[in-house]
Structure 1
Amino acid sequence: MTVTAPRSLRAAWPALTGLSAVFLFEMLDNSILNVALPTIGRDLHASTVALQWVTGAYGVVFGGLMLVLGAAADRFGRRRMMLAGLVLLGTASLATAFVTTVGQLIAVRAVTGAAAAMTTPGSMALAFRLFDDDGLRVKATNLISTVGLIGLAAGPTTGGFVLAAAPWQVLLLVNVPIAALAIAGIRTGIAPDRAEDLHRDPIDVPGALLGTATIVLTLVAPTLFVNEGTGAWEPWTATAAALACAVLFVVRERSARHPLLDLRLVARPAVSGGLAYKAAAALATAGLGYLVTLQLQLAWGWTPAHAAIGMLPQVVVLVAGGAFVSPFVRRAGLDRAAWLSAAAVVLGLAVYGTLGRLGYVWVALALVLVAAGMRVVGVVAGVNVLRGLPENRTTIGAALTDTASEVTSGAGIALSGTVLAALFTGSIAAPHWTTRQASEFQDAATIAGLALTVAAGALVAWAMVRTREKA
């Protein structure tokens, strides 16, 4: 039976409601939890390292499983995988009510990360496949992204109000109604999987293990560099292991009869270029956010509340900028919109690296430029990647896009943290800095900002070259 593609967003509202709820969960979950970490630490008598893993376990499992679960969804059914993940999400969230130790909470967060890996790539893949018109695909992806970014922006404030009147477990129990809304929208608005839309290649188990190990080690290494320092053996061991697994993964995928990730598809100009644009935006956003947060509170002595206000230009652009994405893409075209928005990201980093130490107005300008660029490229790059793949590989394509963002976000923080660790003497968390320490921090922030500019600029330049080639 042939299913007619919707001709407007309104015609697909049940499906878009469900898919937006999925993305809302991903964006809201960690942001709303972060504000509760001090309360969780006191309630569960958790150490600093344990608290870090309350959020870290989610990110590592989420990033590590996306590729293999995306590949499984393309084989066994995207809708089926999405619904199973949402059931797991609701169950894990309900389990929060019975948590009594920090170990149990970390386990729940890991299961929640697995549920996110089952659902998040599918939200973009199903939105892309819902329409056969690129303009509607951009609008749908933009709508879903906007809902998620509203959750990201509102999470800390909402969490603060909730904690004033309720226990911290309520913050995670909110995932239960979100999962129920998503299940209802997807069951109503998205047709069941059809056998002809899937493929039956066996899953490459060695490739899946090597790919997962590569991603997990890559996500863990930045945290080790920041926490243990560049002189410790742990971060370097994790980095070397990640590189070794990555090499073995590429060797395996080139030789496997049915690879988990067909590298010939990834090498297509639209796919590799889109991934590079997405990686540049994630690198810039994470690295800049890390540096600015430290600069406002530690170097300039702003209170957390004032620092939150200082980050508002970025939040406003990310949320309100959604109204301008579709008109801009329609006027510029997908490819031109991608490189223009990515160039804005690089320009924002350059402004911060060269002028950020001179005053807040330059920091705010950098935040606005990076946020504006990321807002567009986040939508356009994802659509371009999926356009460049066969229809029966769209979920692993979305998973690959999300994985690129996760990995390069960690790289951006690691690069910034490593530069700070190398140039700053003493404890960066000390309440009062000497004049020398303040100068060291500003020098480190400048060097880190310029290093991020060079890295993001190289990714954007390479992406521009790739997307100008014929597919």
Structure 2
Amino acid sequence: MSSDQTTVIAAHSPRSLREAWVALAGLSAVFLFEMLDNSILNVALPTIGRELHASTTALQWVTGAYAVVFGGLMLAFGAIADRFGRRRIMLIGLVLLGVASLATAFVSNVEQLIAVRVAMGVAAAMTTPGSLALSFRLFEGDGLRVRATTLISTVGLVGLAVGPTAGGFVLAIAPWQVLLLVNVPVAVLAIIGVRLGIASDVPAELHRDPIDIAGALLGTATIVLALVAPTLFVNEGMESWAPWATTAAALVGAILFFLRERSARYPLLDPKLVAHPLVSSGLAFKAAAGLATAGLGYLVTLQLQLDWGWTPALAAIGMLPQVVVLVAGGALIGPFVRRVGLGRAAWMSAASVVAGLAVYAVLGRFGYVAVAVALVLVAAGMRVVGVVAGVNVLRGLPKNRTTIGAALIDTASEVTTGAGIAVTGTILAVLFTGPIATPNWSGHQTAEFHQAVTVAGLTLTAFAAALVAYGIIRTRTQTDPPADTGGSDEASLARVGVGDDRSVGEQ
């Protein structure tokens, strides 16, 4: 892009969050849908099962179909958006979301509901990466980018926190379909905000390379297999051939995808871009956080209800330290990043997540205080890394690859979350004898569970720590800020501590 074009775009960029409130309201609504959807749906699964006469497997696919389609298509739609317009793809996806959510009112069997969830997964793949990409490109300075991303994520996390409780109250007075119909006004709000608050894409920030269809098919197949494998390990067990075959197919697909992208003239995802220090380190930190968070959430839920015998309501109260930090922690992100810089903030927050998991693995069996400390450490780290690692990844990419970069961030989180649950579930299946949901465990079973928690927790800690170490090593190879840092907004950069040699040079 020429310097004249850059000057014109910067002149029209909002100089504060207040100036961009319409756009931010729309983008926040997009992220609210992503966070609210599955959390509020899980509350209704027992009711759905009874009213639609659905089997346990069918109920799993009500949520699983959405996750698999969402995770599998993000890279493909990210590439499409970078070619044909991020705003355009976002608006098409939001229309699909509204229509699919409205179709819930006419569902009469579980197969129809699964079809609706598939359509909503497609819509999420079209919209969710765009919320980060569009908020990043809305501003020219990293200070405003961090603050905007923090605002958007805070709205989503509030939805995640209040979703289950609100869903329970709604079910007491209304049909379960209402819980999915709530996505309709959310989609309408998002359409209005994006349509009125965000200008059409600048042609110079898009590209017209031919779509790598073979790469898109290989990438989608690999991610879908990687997301299905953890479920198979948990449901079928290690003795079954299905999860191992699926995992092997995912590995083969990943190798073929990498070879394809290395040799393609116009790759879907250029390996050279992924190798950029800011990109590779940011993805490593996000992957570490996803791995640790998924494992901790799974283990703590089992411990509170099955090991300690807490009721679901009491267990929900026990998770409050995590909820409070996730929701209220947004106010601390700015000061923290301002003090240590984007580079340090990314690896320190990822390390906090890993430390929280380690605390739980070693001390969690001895009482709730250790569990609460672990939840706080993980939530605090996840709150920061979710913002700064994502911003760093996009800073390391060209303007015309922003959306696929955002899709890569979300894909890394989705895949590692599934991997964390798979590793935890597999270790529990190996070390715990008998059905884990059996009430009144024997002393031997309790000891087995404690051993499984320690082994699973330390295993995930080791993997996550390795990812953090890799990310730190990659950040140390970044000696200069990338060209697209929004340097024209010096005041904004100064507000988050990325306008001086100390913070930028260390990235």
| Aligned 1:190-339 pairs, distance under 5 A | 190-339=198-347
Kindly state the Cα deviation for residue 194 of structure 1 after the two structures are TM-superposed. 2.4
Kindly state the Cα deviation for residue 97 of structure 1 after the two structures are TM-superposed. 0.3
Which residue of structure 1 lines up, in the alignment, with residue 175 of structure 2? 167
Which residue of structure 2 lines up, in the alignment, with residue 433 of structure 1? 441
2:165 pairs with 148, 151, 157, which one? 157
The amino acid that maps onto 1:465 is: I
The amino acid that maps onto 1:137 is: R
**In structure 2, C-alpha distance between the alignment counterparts of 1:326 and 1:67, rounded to whole Å:** 30
Which residue of structure 2 lines up, in the alignment, with residue 95 of structure 1? 103
Is 1:342 the counterpart of 2:350? The answer is yes
The amino acid that maps onto 1:103 is: E
Q: What CA deviation, in whole Å up to 9, does each residue of 1:297-335 have, x standing for no partner?
A: 011111111111111111110001011011111111000
| Aligned 1:14-163 pairs, distance under 5 A | 14-163=22-171
C-alpha RMSD of the superposition: 0.8
Kindly state the Cα deviation for residue 340 of structure 1 after the two structures are TM-superposed. 1.2
Which residue of structure 2 lines up, in the alignment, with residue 409 of structure 1? 417
Is 1:463 the counterpart of 2:435? The answer is no
- Describe the SS at the equivalent of 1:430: coil
Runs of 4+ in 1 over 2 A off after TM superposition: none
Kindly state the Cα deviation for residue 470 of structure 1 after the two structures are TM-superposed. 2.8
Which residue of structure 2 lines up, in the alignment, with residue 449 of structure 1? 457
Q: What CA deviation, in whole Å up to 9, does each residue of 1:35-82 have, x standing for no partner?
A: 000000000000000000000000000000000000000000000000
Q: TM-score w.r.t. structure 1 length?
A: 0.99
**In structure 2, C-alpha distance between the alignment counterparts of 1:391 and 1:282, rounded to whole Å:** 26
Which residue of structure 1 lines up, in the alignment, with residue 196 of structure 2? 188
The amino acid that maps onto 2:382 is: M
**In structure 2, C-alpha distance between the alignment counterparts of 1:312 and 1:195, rounded to whole Å:** 46
**In structure 1, C-alpha distance between the alignment counterparts of 2:102 and 2:351, rounded to whole Å:** 43
Q: TM-score w.r.t. structure 2 length?
A: 0.92
Q: What CA deviation, in whole Å up to 9, does each residue of 1:83-110 have, x standing for no partner?
A: 0000000000000000000000001001
- Percent identity, aligned pairs only, is 76
Is 1:379 the counterpart of 2:387? The answer is yes
Give the length in aligned residue pairs.
471
The unaligned stretches of length 5 or more in structure 2 are 480-507
**In structure 2, C-alpha distance between the alignment counterparts of 1:379 and 1:90, rounded to whole Å:** 27
**In structure 2, C-alpha distance between the alignment counterparts of 1:76 and 1:281, rounded to whole Å:** 32
**In structure 2, C-alpha distance between the alignment counterparts of 1:232 and 1:381, rounded to whole Å:** 37
Which residue of structure 2 lines up, in the alignment, with residue 397 of structure 1? 405
**In structure 2, C-alpha distance between the alignment counterparts of 1:246 and 1:336, rounded to whole Å:** 31
**In structure 1, C-alpha distance between the alignment counterparts of 2:261 and 2:348, rounded to whole Å:** 33
**In structure 2, C-alpha distance between the alignment counterparts of 1:416 and 1:445, rounded to whole Å:** 8
**In structure 2, C-alpha distance between the alignment counterparts of 1:250 and 1:385, rounded to whole Å:** 19
The unaligned stretches of length 5 or more in structure 1 are none
